[in-house]
């Protein structure tokens, strides 16, 4: 009786962008290539954002075939994009494994901002945020975060003929729960060997992970920090942001003061003003107290309704009174008007829907 031996499984090729510069150099030398080839390949991958080995046209055919035989480039592609009436562009980005995340280009008179995602879904379950009603499937790796910026930069230049100026980590997911990949992506984006963007143009937004805020300070991560505050007391914050139960305002105060002491940087507080929840002058007084923790600015944000929540945006008169209360007391306060609401691209609305995954 004859028995067929099972076929050996096809080895899974590693994404070449997961190799360090030293690992890539060691591989090339081991296969008879000159050490300087590693720098050429790295330049193609990060500075020139090559999507294939075939595009690396200053390498020999043999070198490109060698790379292709051992590695892949798991690039991010635009599966679908929508253009808002106000010029905002929302993109559904398809990842190599079929998962989809969303990112947004937000045009403004003085800046062009990319809002990018750090996770597929989210685990924090904030009650007002569409992404919070999704399951967290996995973290994005640094190259996938980087590629979102590249794709949005391309859209910016094609649609508006102007360069991308700012990046905010305010899309799907909690950046500080994907700390290593987020920090590596910032390093790549700001490197002269990458996109060479200024660190002051990058903002990492967190729902409030106290110990990771301290780690940002210890690691001296070159980016701005924003805290999604949205309520000025523990009782109210617990109601809409369960993460607060393990990261109370007292814990966040201590972490933010530590951050400021080590970095010297201001912090931005993001505050959605909900009708009949956090929009009274008593709330403004409590927010004023928080503003005195350390040098800061406050962004008052319009709420953008989602299907799963019953919250409403406060009225215009109430919003202006709230804003004036803080401004009159010397707090740097900005009103952030929503962009892209008609295509569910505004703050808190990102969620991969059927129409963007078809």
- Among 340, 351, 213, 341, CA closest to 269: 213
Instruction: Record the tokens describing residue 81, joined without a space.
Output: 């994009």
Cβ-based neighbour number of residue 141 at 10 Å: 20
Catalytic site residue from 43, 157, 347, 354: 347
Tokens 């809002």, residue located:
115
Grouping H, G, I as helix, E, B as strand and the rest as coil, residue 344 is coil
Backbone angles phi, psi at 278, to 5 degrees: -135, 30
Catalytic site residue from 33, 102, 144, 174: 102
Q: Cα–Cα distance between 347 and 302 in angstroms, integer? A: 9
Q: Strands 100-107, 89-94: parallel, antiparallel or unpaired by DSSP?
A: antiparallel
Q: Is 296 designated active site?
A: no
Backbone angles phi, psi at 145, to 5 degrees: -65, -45
156 and 258 Cβ atoms separated by less than 8 Å: no
Q: Is 102 designated active site?
A: yes
Question: How many whole angstroms from its chain centre is CA 230?
Answer: 19
In DSSP terms, which residues pair with 100 in a beta bridge? 94
Q: Can you spell out the DSSP letters for 202-241? A: EEEEES--HHHHHHHHHTT-SSEEEEE---SSHHHHHHH-
244 and 228 Cβ atoms separated by less than 8 Å: no
Tokens 């929503």, residue located:
338
Buried b (16+ CB within 10 A) or exposed e, 297-329: ebbbbbbbbbeebebebbeeebbeebbebbeee
- Catalytic site positions: 102, 347
């Amino acid at each position: 009786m004859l028995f067929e031996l099972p076929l050996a499984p096809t080895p899974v090729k590693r994404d070449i962008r997961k190799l360090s510069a030293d690992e890539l150099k060691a591989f090339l030398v081991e296969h008879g290539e000159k050490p300087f080839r590693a720098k050429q390949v790295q330049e193609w991958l990060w500075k020139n954002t090559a999507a294939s080995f075939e595009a690396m046209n200053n390498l020999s055919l043999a070198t490109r075939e060698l790379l292709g035989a051992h590695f892949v480039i798991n690039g991010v592609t635009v599966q679908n994009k929508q253009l808002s009436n106000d010029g905002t562009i929302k993109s559904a980005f398809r990842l190599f494994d079929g998962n989809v995340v969303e990112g947004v280009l937000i045009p403004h008179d003085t800046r062009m901002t990319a809002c990018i995602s750090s996770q597929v879904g989210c685990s924090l379950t904030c009650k007002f945020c569409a992404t919070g009603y999704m399951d967290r499937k996995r973290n994005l790796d640094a190259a996938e975060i980087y590629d979102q910026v590249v794709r949005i930069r391309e859209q910016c230049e094609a649609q508006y003929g102007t360069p991308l100026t700012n990046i905010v980590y305010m899309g799907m997911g909690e950046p500080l729960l994907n700390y290593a990949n987020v920090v590596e992506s910032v390093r790549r984006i700001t490197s002269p060997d990458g996109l060479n963007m200024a660190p002051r143009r990058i903002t990492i937004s967190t729902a409030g992970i106290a110990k990771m805020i301290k780690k940002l300070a210890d690691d001296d991560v070159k980016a701005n920090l924003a805290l999604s505050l949205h309520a000025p007391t523990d009782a109210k914050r617990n109601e809409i942001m369960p993460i607060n139960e393990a990261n109370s305002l007292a814990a966040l105060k201590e972490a933010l003061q530590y951050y400021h002491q080590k970095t010297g940087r201001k912090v931005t507080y993001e505050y959605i003003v909900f009708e009949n929840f956090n929009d009274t002058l008593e709330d403004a007084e409590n927010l004023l107290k928080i503003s005195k923790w350390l040098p800061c600015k406050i962004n008052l944000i319009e709420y953008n309704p989602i299907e799963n929540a019953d919250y409403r945006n406060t009225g215009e008169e109430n919003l202006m009174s709230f804003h004036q209360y803080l401004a009159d007391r010397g707090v740097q306060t900005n009103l952030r008007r929503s962009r892209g609401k008609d295509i569910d691209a505004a703050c808190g609305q990102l969620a991969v829907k059927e129409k963007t995954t078809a």
